[in-house]
Structure 1
């Protein structure tokens, strides 16, 4: 990511530059103290001391915000905020009401750097200190009305942003954990299935091999029968493994929709996809057939059609033969399918026919249109 949020430490040089830019924008509120230094009628010595004080305040503010997220203790952050508050009070009391704006930065820093259980006390405390100092200054009450509300609102807004970012980080970590657990569960399922499929068959093959070995010298006919049984069991085990692998490799329609959307976007094709996937009552074999149809259609769009637009629709329809799920992929390309246009569509038609569905692939006035249909049960 090129940006970094409140409460997060920038990791790269680009993130540091972005965070510095955002902080620099808010420093525009320091125009009042700077204007007071330049045009407030202070003596040269006071101007120098005021400039040094303002520079120290900004430096400490930057250090606090940039170090947020490096594992500092709350006591260290509270000490830093106390230094900022002391600098604000000293500068405002010695140089005038224009410097009261520094308390707004103290309040915002509290919300950005402290957890809410502490910030809910430090933000009102900074605002109360702002009020007390303002009432001590000539004309300070006139500035108080315009600074007290931004101090409270800005501080508590930062607590909300900090909590939102923390929640987002926790959700990402939880999602990664769920994905890892799902992968582990899938590996365990694969191990169980392979054990169930091959454990009995391999044990039987081992047993019959031992029997055949003992029978070979004196009972060749019985040994030949054991070898025939070994061949039969081996063939059946191979069929079971192939069926299991086919089930693992069976594509899912939702996953194919996500993958094809990425493929079309990468190819520069403007795509439109269905908002929902109505798969209630759809058998796995039918869903797999539609997924293969979608993959084949989008592959032709990307590789051969030269299209700039593609529309994918997935709807349920009621026909005379019963309810069907219809997948339609239409593009505005040339309609070409490469050097062997019939191979992919022929295999796809056979796959759909096996699932009880149909395939229609025709050229249109502005491109090519593929429609695949499979029968479905009643929606739950």
Structure 2
């Protein structure tokens, strides 16, 4: 869209081709030159901001655009001075900041010199100097913004990869610590029982019982570790909700993390129930609501039944007709009920609101 704004300036040379009194061969050559110029301009501005070109090709395309603008302005007349605006914008988009700071004023200076040498060129020059300077330097900022966004996406992907590798290493260390000693002990006792078995069956049986005890304890430790890996956290689900809504094209307003100044203690069971509820609510918004905006709020609430942490998910979609009480919301309510919480659903023409509450333990009861 930003690139397309500048195409409006092509009206002057196009009108000059139509009613400028040029010969037919001048119209043909001018049209060919204009098409070649626009192609080189788009290659520089549009493609460069999406995929970097090598410096040699950038300089070659800039030289082509400048040469075409120079030839057409000298031969076709003052309306073609507008092509130098495109040259300035191309320089701002494709060149580094230091080089564009020199190329843009130089292009404008050439446009001014040619304008005052052509018939009726002074009026065009006055109206084009400011757009050329503004467009060129504005495109410097736009191109830097696009490149920064690309670098941020690459950095985000790198951080995600590093986080995944770190998590794998942590799991490997935990499993080694959990199973290393137990498996070594099982191996030693198995070898000892094998040597005792022919002559000392009672002591061999004792070693086998020890092997069974150690293996059961190792199995219990692994189950507890896996349960800890699978447990959801509310902060993690808030980050996941932000990403999910962004990918779905839904504008989102939500807290970055759980408030630290809660007036009570959020137990692990309550937190996990609320985290699962948030995941289910966001899934409903993405799949069924057709919403454009979703607001997620997290705040403590004092009710007649006690102190609760309330999570509300409000969207501007189609309401309850788009999210009937199916298995998802039913399971959500059952999960909250198990944790001692509640689920309220409010629907209107302006969207659907889910309010989920889990109890907070008073500070005096914190363990």
1:63: which partner in 2?
40
Determine whether 1:126 maps to 2:103: no
Q: CA deviation at 1:273?
A: 7.4
Among 265, 272, 279, which residue is 1:288 paired with? 272
Distance in 2 between the 1:302 and 1:50 partners? 55
Contact 2:245-2:252 at 8 Å conserved across structures:
no
Aligned length: 342
Greater alpha carbon shift after TM alignment, 244-253 vs 317-326: 317-326
Q: Please give the residue correspondences for 1:1-380 in structure 2 after superposition, counting only pairs within 5 Å.
A: 22=4, 26-42=6-22, 44=23, 47-66=24-43, 68-69=47-48, 72-257=53-238, 275=255, 277-280=257-260, 282=266, 284-294=268-278, 314-317=298-301, 324-327=308-311, 349-350=337-338, 352=339, 358-360=340-342, 371-375=357-361
**Residues 250 and 109 of structure 1, relative CA distance in 2, 3 Å threshold:** same
Q: CA deviation at 1:308?
A: 9.9
Q: Taking structure 1 as the reference length, what is the TM-score of the superposition?
A: 0.73
**Residues 222 and 294 of structure 1, relative CA distance in 2, 3 Å threshold:** same
1:18: which partner in 2?
none
Distance in 1 between the 2:164 and 2:183 partners? 27
Gaps in structure 2 of 5+ consecutive residues? none
SS in 2 for 1:375: coil
Contact 2:196-2:204 at 8 Å conserved across structures:
yes
Q: CA deviation at 1:131?
A: 0.9
Contact 2:85-2:131 at 8 Å conserved across structures:
yes
Contact 1:88-1:99 at 8 Å conserved across structures:
yes
SS in 2 for 1:372: strand
Q: CA deviation at 1:191?
A: 0.6
1:13: which partner in 2?
none
**Residues 248 and 218 of structure 1, relative CA distance in 2, 3 Å threshold:** same
Gaps in structure 1 of 5+ consecutive residues? 7-21, 353-357
Q: Taking structure 2 as the reference length, what is the TM-score of the superposition?
A: 0.75
Distance in 2 between the 1:363 and 1:162 partners? 46
Distance in 2 between the 1:301 and 1:104 partners? 46
